[in-house]
């Protein structure tokens, strides 16, 4: 199958069926608009783009139309499409001039008119400011941003780099935007996701560890977050980057530390638990202090059975949705199903995702 130059690979559905208005203002960060718009399409967004006059001096409307595959409004026109009802508005980059003008009800162009109409409709809006550090640190800017948030507008600042408050990367912006839109949908849940491997020390520099990159857990947490759920991750040892937009990731590499964190979280109102972490079945009974000397002949390490997290949590989280993950090797499919079913019954799981190592 041929692939067109404008095509994107779908990565998710968090913006599917959403009509999004994207405003591009005149900050130099507008050069990232092509990446941002293509990322929006990867998650299913249908867009209408409005560019301010100053934005058109940074990036051309032709490039924006290519990236968005939608109409790009650059000035007033008779159709007044900026007044059409949309599900949400994203302004990136958002200059201080645009932010202040919106707060004071100015109508200097189609974008400000669209924002004014959105305010009357209680439409979700995310603004992503981009400006020099001196402007960002101006107390007037703080006042403007505070007033935006009081109006219910989400404001996403980037990190301070090279004397500028730059916009976060396009994946971060789209994830935060999708979460903001979907957080008000029905049946949003508070969810805990465990992920990564766990580690039991032999001494201060050696240990045993389950093999797990954490990729599956992060992918699940990311999807849940983008669809509006309140996600907390409890993270063991991983080998893949943590999505920087996830709101809370608690490090817990040792099995006992992870269990302690989960028990503490169980005191909150958590509606769902997703256990993707590879928790050690056996841990070192008595870790040595310091570093054991090498070249001393065979080393005997006594392993003892560790706590089963899903079993330990059973009483504390009864009534919540609980998803487990189980990996086996060297067994037949029917035995895999039997063991997964036994785990569901014994630990009161809602479901278990079972795999054989040979099939991965």
Q: Is the peptide bond before 93 cis (omega within 30 degrees of 0)?
A: yes
For the chain, give every residue range classified as CATH 3.40.50.10300: 190-359
The domain made up of 19-182 has a fold known as Rossmann fold (3.40.50)
**CA 345 from centre of chain:** 32
Q: What is the 3-state secondary structure (H, E, C) of the chain?
A: CCCCCCCCCCCCCCCCCCEEEEEECCCHHHHHHHHHHHHHHHCCCEEEEEECCCHHHCCCHHHHHHHHCCCEECCCCCCCHHHCCCCEEEEEEECHHHHHHHHCCCCCCHHHHHHHHHHHHCCEEEEEECEEHHHHCCHHHHHHHHHHHHCCCEECCCCEECCEECCCCHHHHHHHHHHHHHCCCCCCCEEEEEECECEEECCCCCEEECCCCCHHHHHHHHHHHHCCCEEEEEECECCCCCCCCCCEEEECCCHHHHHHHHHHHCCCCCCEEEECCECCCEEECCCCCCCCCCCCCCCCCCEEECCCHHHHCCCCCCCCEEEEEEEECCCCHHHHHHHHHHHHHHHCCCEEEEEEHHHC
Q: Which of 261, 257, 304 is nearest to 283 (CA)?
A: 304
* First-last CA distance in the chain: 27
**Contact status, residue 88 vs residue 18, Cβ threshold 8 Å:** yes
The first and second tokens of residue 211, run together, are 């093999």
pLDDT the model gives residue 340: 96
Q: What is the pLDDT of residue 138?
A: 93
Give the position of tokens 């857990």. 217
Structure-token pair, residue 161: 């780099």
Task: Give CA–CA dist 71/74, Å, rounded.
Answer: 10
Return the percentage of the chain with pLDDT > 70, whole number: 99
Say how far residue 339 (Cα) sits from the centre of its chain: 33
Kindly give, in sequence order, each residue whose CB lies less than 8 Å from that of residue 338, ignoring residues fewer than 6 positions away: none
Domain with CATH 3.40.50.1950 in the chain: 19-182
Task: Summarize pLDDT for 234-285 with one digit per residue, the tens.
Answer: 999 999 999 999 999 999 999 999 999 999 999 999 999 999 999 999 999 9
The pLDDT value recorded for residue 1 is 54
Angle (deg, nearest 10), helices 33-42 and 170-182:
50
Which one of 2.60.40.1730, 3.40.50.10300, 3.40.50.11540, 1.25.40.20 gives the CATH number of domain 190-359? 3.40.50.10300
pLDDT, position 160: 87
Render pLDDT for 26-80 as a digit per residue (tens, 0 to 9): 989 999 999 999 999 999 999 999 999 999 999 999 999 999 999 999 998 877 7
From residue 139, give the alpha-carbon distance in Å to each of 133, 208, 227: 12, 52, 35
Q: Is the dihedral of CA 7, 11, 12, 18 positive or negative?
A: negative
Q: Which two tokens stand for residue 201?
A: 């020390």
Low-confidence ranges of the chain (pLDDT < 70): 1-3
């Amino acid at each position: 199958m041929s692939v067109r130059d404008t095509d994107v690979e779908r990565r998710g559905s968090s913006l599917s069926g959403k009509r999004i208005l994207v405003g591009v203002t005149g900050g130099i960060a507008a050069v990232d608009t092509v990446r941002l718009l293509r990322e929006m399409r990867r998650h299913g967004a249908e867009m209408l783009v409005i560019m301010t006059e100053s934005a058109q001096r940074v990036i051309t409307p032709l490039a924006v139309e290519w990236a968005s595959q939608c109409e790009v409004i650059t000035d007033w026109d008779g159709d007044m499409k900026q007044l059409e009802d949309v599900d949400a508005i994203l302004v990136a980059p958002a200059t201080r001039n645009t932010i202040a003008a919106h707060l004071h009800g100015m109508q200097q162009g189609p974008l400000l008119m669209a924002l004014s109409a959105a305010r009357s409709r209680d439409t979700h809006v995310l603004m992503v400011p981009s400006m020099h550090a001196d402007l960002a640190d101006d107390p007037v800017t703080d006042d403007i941003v505070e007033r935006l948030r009081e109006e219910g507008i989400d404001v996403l600042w980037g990190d301070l780099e090279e004397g500028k408050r730059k916009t976060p990367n396009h994946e971060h912006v789209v994830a935060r935007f999708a979460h903001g839109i979907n957080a008000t949908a029905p049946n949003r849940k508070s969810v805990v996701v465990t992920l990564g491997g766990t580690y039991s020390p032999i001494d201060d520099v050696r240990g045993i560890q389950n093999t797990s990159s954490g990729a599956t857990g992060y992918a699940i947490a990311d999807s849940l977050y983008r669809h509006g759920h309140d996600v907390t991750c409890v993270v063991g040892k991983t080998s893949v980057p943590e999505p920087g937009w996830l709101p809370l990731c608690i490090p817990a590499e040792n099995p006992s530390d992870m269990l302690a964190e989960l028990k503490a979280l169980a005191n909150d109102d958590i509606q769902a638990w997703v256990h993707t972490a590879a928790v050690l079945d056996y841990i070192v009974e008595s870790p040595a202090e310091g570093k054991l000397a090498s070249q001393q002949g065979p080393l005997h390490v006594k392993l003892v059975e560790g706590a089963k997290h899903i079993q330990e949590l059973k009483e504390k989280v009864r009534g919540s949705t609980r998803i487990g993950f189980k990996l086996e090797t060297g067994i037949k499919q029917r035995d895999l199903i039997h063991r997964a079913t036994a785990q569901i019954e014994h630990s009161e799981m809602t479901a278990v995702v079972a795999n054989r190592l040979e099939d991965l």
